[in-house]
Amino acid sequence: MSRQYTIALAGNPNAGKTSVFNALTGARQHVGNYPGVTVEYKEGIAHHQGQAVEVVDLPGTYSLTAYSPEELVARNYLIGQRPDVVVDVVDASNLERNLYLAVQLMELGVPLVICLNMVDVAKTRGLKIDADKLSRLLGVPVVTTVARQNQGMKELLAAAVELAESEPEWRPLNISYGSDVDQGVDEVATILQGAQERRGLLSARWLAVKCLEGDQEVIERVRETPELAEKLLPVCDRVAGHIKNTMDDNPDSIIADYRYGYITGITRQVVSSEREVRMDLSDKLDQVLTHRLLGPLLLFAVLYGIYNFVFWASEVPVVLLENFFGWLGGAVEGALPPGLLRSLIVSGIIGGVGGVLGFAPLIAFMFFAIAIMEDSGYMARVAYIMDRVLRIFGLHGNSVMALMVGGGLSGGCAVPGVMATRTLKDPKARLATILTVPFMNCGAKLPVYSLLIAAFFAHRQAEMLFLLTLISWGLGLGAAKLLRVTLLRGEQAPFVMELPPYRAPTIKGLVIHTWERTWQYAKKAGTMILGVSVLMWAAMSFPGLPQEQDAAWQQRISAAPSAEARLELKSNRAQDELAGTIAGRAGRALTVLTNPLGFDWRANVALVGGFAAKEVIVSTLGVAYSLGEVDPEHSQSLSKRLAAEKGWNPLKAFSLIIFVMVYAPCLATVVMIRKETGTWRWALFSVGYNTLIAYLLALAVFQGGRALGLG
Ligand code: GDP
Ligand code: MG
């Protein structure tokens, strides 16, 4: 015979718990008091197909915090006694509020059955609730009942026993509490992970959330282990301080908002009302902003506005910074004697790092716009609106945030983009999103586009940029779909799109959020790109021309009949020199592969450097076309120079643009993919996958274009 199961009844006061309890157990009950507190509890026996089942009536609570003795009793019973199944009695006529407890039970991870009670009352109020959909969205059995009339009681007991028989594991639900709190929870949970072994039963994440909520009981328990408390509590304080700073509110109310956001995401889908329902401001805003037709139109308008704002606002600072680095390079050039050191500092360091930092204002304004969308709660609506579309491609509404940050609007950065996938709980959808982010037009690709567009599509600049945005989304979504029907195949679990209430962003919060992401980008310039620029500079400088060859060039240059001719010769000499360097040789060796795409060896050199950081492509092309060697008075801009170059034409330029858009993500992104997926496998896969697709696309563009007589 199987052992006797225990079912615990939880629920809000007046949801009908006692009615359910009486209906299940009849007269067989026993009333007692919990030790130490004046909270009453009842136990009884129910019978299911001749099998006795113990039923425990927990005190009625709205929440599982530690604010009241009832809540604490209910929570400690669940944690300490671990009933086989918890039945949450929910008042269907007041679903939103009642689900707040259900969500917390799910966060705790108890095996749960929802008893959707008082459906008769709901009906008279004109509310229709789709119980099947509710069950699918929550991933929990739902049984509709009218406890007062004994309706649905057999079914309820059967569902509970069936769940108990499956010997379910505790499976805590992880919902997102917004990026600030999520990051804090991760940080605290990591510290708890080690200590958690001894507690065994509770998830580190749940404890972390409780610590951030300021749950006195959990914090007391942490204090019992002084070494843990010493490490943990300061981090909790710091995280809570950060959240107060950015959101102007306490972590516990933010967490509550997001729980309600999760519930709103559910009730929007399962409750339909025949009558006018009371709406708060958030609901009213949502009527417009998430409207089936208006929503997407407004979203498009908002994105268009952001696009214009960002380019308008960053125009002046970008030029200022460019001028500053130009001036700095010139000043250093004047101060140092010619030679390797000067060349290293001017071309390698100032040129490389300046190229990245010069772009920082654009990135910063883009992140500022994204912070407004996120902090106000609009980003959650964007995810909600986009969910239906993204699902077609095997992604998820929440992928939107990652793709936007990664450059979906032109000018983000894939490094924070990959990090932003953390809100995705479905591992396959998350992986597909991570691998899609590098397809977006990050801020480092933009200078390459600008250069080539200015050179070959000068009369259609804005249209070209817009086209490239569309192409990158198209390719990214296509690549995601490809992954989702092959390597990352799998059912898409029904998922709740959280709709937390709108809040007015604070200036302080916006500034901090913008700064955090911009700093991640700028750090790249200080570390990765500095190293890479120096390496690239070395690869493009050594070994120099052999002495006799150099002497021969110098002789021809000094014998030149005119300034023009001298210029031409100087440039030829520089090309000759570059061709012999390490980078030049590598570039030439690669022409076997890249000739069919239309790239010459100098483009190859730039592309190899671009793997380290896409910003390097423009500066490398600059050096490869020997701008630095030409007399300043006669220098043309690089784009004019490319336009005049014999080997170049619009078709080649477009092929190169497509290749740059898609090929291997930069080193910093690869490292971040490794960090976020936990294995090098996916990091290396993304290098191979993107480069292969880039190669095939560029091949199709170039060969197709030639066949059509375009090149
Ligand atoms: P508890 O506080 O959760 O234990 O709730 P009770 O079982 O005491 O029920 C509160 C009130 O709701 C009582 O008057 C019940 O008769 C009534 N009630 C319980 N279930 C239902 C139901 O399904 N429909 C209706 N109309 N009333 C119910
Ligand atoms: Mg009661």
Q: Which ligand is nearest to the CA of 19?
A: 1
H runs (alpha helix) in 166-280? 179-199, 204-213, 216-223, 226-247, 251-270
CA of 42 to the centre of ligand 1 (A): 17
Residues 264-280: b if buried by 16+ CB within 10 A, e if exposed: bbbbbbbbeeeeeeeee
Cα of 608 from ligand 1 centre, angstroms: 71
Q: What is the distance in A from the centroid of ligand 2 to the CA of 21?
A: 9
Q: Of all residues in the chain, what percent carry a pLDDT higher than 90?
A: 47
pLDDT score recorded for residue 37: 58
Contact between residue 616 and residue 607 where contact means Cβ atoms under 8 Å apart: no
**94 alpha carbon – ligand 2 mean position (Å):** 17
Average pLDDT over residues 153-169: 95
CA distance 93 to 4: 34
Of ligand 1's listed atoms, the one at least distance from the Cα of 21 is 7
The average pLDDT across 510-518 equals 91
SS3 90: strand
Which residue minimizes the CA distance to atom 12 of ligand 1?
16
Looking at residue 382, what is its pLDDT? Answer: 92
Rounded to two decimals, the pTM is 0.79
**Ligand 2 geometric centre to CA of 270 (Å):** 27
**Confidence band for 629, pLDDT divided at 50, 70 and 90:** very low
Among the ranges given (10-24, 108-122, 325-339, 464-478), the one the predictor scored with the smallest mean pLDDT: 325-339
Q: At residue 33, does pLDDT exceed 70?
A: no
Average pLDDT of span 163-177? 92
Which amino acid, 117?
N
Name all residues whose Cβ lies below 6 A of ligand 1: 11, 13-19, 60, 117-118, 120-121, 146-148
Instruction: Give the per-residue pLDDT at 106.
Output: 97
Q: How far apart are CA 7 and CA 78, in angstroms?
A: 10
**Phi then psi for 56, rounded to 5 degrees?**
-120, 130
Q: Whose CA is nearest to atom 6 of ligand 1?
A: 16
620-645 average pLDDT score: 62
What is the pLDDT at residue 646? 77
Closest residue to atom 16 of ligand 1, CA basis: 148
Q: Residue 132 has which token pair? A: 């099947």
Tens of pLDDT, residue by residue over 669-698, are 998 899 899 999 999 999 999 999 999 999
User: What pLDDT score was predicted for residue 38?
Assistant: 59
121 CA closest ligand 1 atom index: 26
Range with the lowest mean pLDDT among 266-275, 519-528, 656-665?
A: 519-528
CA of 407 to the centre of ligand 2 (A): 54
Atom of ligand 1 nearest to the CA of 151: 23
Query: What is the rounded CA–CA span in Å between residue 342 and residue 346?
Result: 6
pLDDT at 32: 63
Burial class (CB in 10 A: 0-12, 13-18, 19+), 108: buried
Output the average pLDDT for the chain: 87
CA 70 / ligand 2 centre spacing (Å): 12
Distance 89 CA to ligand 1 centre (A): 10
Look at residue 31 and tell me whether its pLDDT is greater than 70. Answer: no
Give whole-number Cα distances, 118 to 150, 155, 217, 274, 334, in Å. Answer: 11, 15, 34, 17, 84
- Containing 117, the helix (H) or strand (E) segment is strand 112-117
* Segments of 319-366 assigned E as strands: none
Residue ID of nearest Cα to ligand 1 atom 24: 118
Distance 325 CA to ligand 2 centre (A): 73
Q: What's the Cα-to-Cα distance from 228 to each of 211, 225, 240, 694, rounded to whole Å?
A: 13, 5, 18, 50
Q: What gap in Å lies between CA 30 and CA 18, rounded to an integer?
A: 13
Listed range (344-353, 467-476, 583-592) with the worst mean pLDDT: 344-353
Q: Is the pLDDT of residue 398 over 90?
A: no
What mean pLDDT do residues 143-164 have?
Answer: 96
User: Between these two residues, 537 and 662, which has the higher pLDDT value?
Assistant: 662
Q: What was the pLDDT predicted at 637?
A: 64
Ligand nearest to the CA of 89: 1
β-pairing verdict for 142-144 and 112-117: parallel
What pLDDT does residue 111 have? 97
Residue 196: is its pLDDT beyond 70? no
pLDDT at 27: 65
- Choosing from 9, 20, 21, 148 the residue with most ligand 1 atoms within 8 A of its CB, the one to mutate for a pocket test is 148
Q: What pLDDT, on a 0 to 100 scale, did the predictor assign at position 308?
A: 77
Binning pLDDT at 50, 70 and 90, where does residue 630 land?
very low
Residues pairing with 126 in the sheet = none
**Ligand whose nearest atom lies closest to the CA of 10:** 1
Packed helices 563-580 and 547-558: angle between N→C axes, nearest 10 degrees = 170
The full set of domains in the chain, from first to last, is 5-165 (3.40.50.300), 179-273 (1.10.287.1770), 294-485 (no CATH)
Nearest CA to ligand 1 atom 28: 148
Residue nearest to atom 25 of ligand 1 (CA): 118
Angle between helices 680-707 and 427-436 (to 10 degrees): 50
Q: 503: closest CA among 379, 587, 349, 386?
A: 379
User: pLDDT, tens digit, for every residue of 257-269?
Assistant: 999 999 999 998 9
> Nearest-CA neighbor of 670 among 681, 656, 661?
681
Q: What is the DSSP letter of 234?
A: H
Q: How far is the CA of 20 from the centre of ligand 1 (A)?
A: 8
What confidence score (pLDDT) does residue 631 get? 41
d(CA 414, CA 558): 49
Taking the CA of 12 as reference, the closest ligand is: 1
What amino acid occupies position 600? Answer: D
**Residue 355: pLDDT band with limits 50, 70, 90:** low
Among 14, 56, 95, 116, which is best to mutate for testing ligand 1, by the most ligand atoms less than 8 A from CB?
Answer: 14
Q: How far is the CA of 13 from the centre of ligand 2 (A)?
A: 7
Ligand 1 nearest atom to the CA of residue 22, by list position: 7
Most informative mutation of 19, 116, 124 for ligand 1 (most atoms within 8 A of CB): 19
Residues 605 and 579: their CA atoms lie apart, in Å, by: 10
